Amino acid sequence: MILVTGGAGFIGSNFVLQWCNNGDEPVLNLDALTYAGNLANLQSLVGNTQHRFVHGSICDSQLLAKLFAEHQPRAVVHFAAESHVDRSITGPEAFVETNVVGTFRLLEAARTYWNSLEGAKKNAFRFLHVSTDEVYGTLEPNDPAFTETTPYAPNSPYSASKAASDHLVRSYFHTYGMPVLTTNCSNNYGPFHFPEKLIPLMIVNALAGKALPVYGDGQQIRDWLYVEDHCSGIRRVLEAGTCGETYNIGGWNEKANIDIVNTVCSLLDELAPPASRQVIHQQTGKKVEHYAELVTYVTDRPGHDRRYAIDARKIERELGWKPAETFDTGIRKTVAWYLANQDWVKDVINGSYRDWVTQQYGGEKA
């Protein structure tokens, strides 16, 4: 059995689904079900004895000790985290509590359990910590991409909290000899993505005739990684990664935010033409002919990093992994999934989420 934390969130749920589709090893899934955790993501596993869900927090040391003792997992895959930069700016304490304190308590529980093991079981145990490229800071236009040895320079409370958790994980390898692995990924996109993030927000707002808020000049550059590629990369690191090592997982797809938005609009024009859906621009009251008409530039967020880029050659060279999807194939699959799963979208967009979007973007012109 493996223990997955945060397995009802965006990346975690995709990982659990992929794990169950690729083998029969059981998964113990621990998730606190905060606003972005959603059991509907795992609906296809209802009745599947391979998957066992536990509602709880990684900050609960007693619960963690109980789960390790009862289920004796051979590995931990640690996704659980607060992960949205904008929310970390307005409410950083939750990020420190979950990402730093929670990771510490999970490490302690895992270390106690690992120390209780003997022989082959102890040698086989792994703790895989899933992190982000944002810990490396920002890049200038001509800077080389982030590698595993790039110095950390986090610029938001979110990335600082993830950097802290990375350092804790590293210290448990060097101090205690605990068999840890760390992955740092680029921006994920794909099914089950909570619609506060760029791509799902654009899809949801466009279909509703709402403004498509773009920060600043829209020229912030990110590397984009299809979530199922990310999950396959994590599985490969868990299978064959060298303990104590870090592996960057990227998609080799550097794109400016405004280009992402325009691509989404073009795909929606093709797959869900606004005329056929009678989409009305909520600000002007006019019929929308092309979704790009909804693009609205808003004041940039504080400390907004200009560019991230992942050099993923190490995982390809050492473990033979590389992404299966191009951005063109991955984004088409993503848009098609959201169009086919409108009930899922409606269920996750509750009142508190709508209030937060209004507060965060508010229609303010740059």
245 is catalytic: no
Instruction: Spell 71-105 as b/e; 16+ CB within 10 A means b.
Output: eebebbbbbbbbbbbbbbbeebeebbebbbbbbbb
| pLDDT of amino acid 365 | 33
Q: Reply yes or no on whether the pLDDT at 360 is more than 60.
A: no
Its pTM stands at 0.93
Query: 77 pairs with which residues across the strands?
Result: 4, 128
Return mean pLDDT, the chain: 94
pLDDT digits (tens, 9 = 90+) for 95-105: 999 999 999 99
pLDDT digits (tens, 9 = 90+) for 103-139: 999 999 999 999 999 999 999 999 999 999 999 999 9
Alpha-carbon distance of 159 to 138, in angstroms, equals 11
Confidence of residue 363 (pLDDT cuts 50, 70, 90): very low
Q: Reply yes or no on whether the pLDDT at 353 is more than 50.
A: no
Give me the CATH code for the 2-193+224-253+303-324 domain, please.
3.40.50.720
**Domain regions of the chain by residue span:** 2-193+224-253+303-324
Choosing from 133, 148, 228, 305, the catalytic residue is: 133
Choosing from 113, 158, 172, 189, the catalytic residue is: 158
Query: 254 pairs with which residues across the strands?
Result: 223
290 residue type, one letter: H
| pLDDT of amino acid 115 | 98
247 is catalytic: no
Confidence of residue 362 (pLDDT cuts 50, 70, 90): low
How is residue 235 annotated by DSSP? H
pLDDT digits (tens, 9 = 90+) for 205-248: 999 999 999 999 999 999 999 999 999 999 999 999 999 999 99
Q: Residue 203 has which token pair?
A: 């899809």
Does residue 336 contact residue 191 with C-beta atoms inside 8 Å? no
Q: What is the mean pLDDT of residues 15-34?
A: 96
Question: Which CA distances in Å does 227 have to 13, 56, 190?
Answer: 10, 24, 6
pLDDT digits (tens, 9 = 90+) for 260-291: 999 999 999 999 999 999 999 998 999 999 99
Helix (H), strand (E) counts: the chain: 15, 12
Q: Residue 116 has which token pair?
A: 């209780």
Q: Reply yes or no on whether the pLDDT at 361 is more than 70.
A: no
Choosing from 31, 82, 134, 305, the catalytic residue is: 134
Largest Cα separation within the chain, whole Å, is 70
| pLDDT of amino acid 352 | 52
158 is catalytic: yes
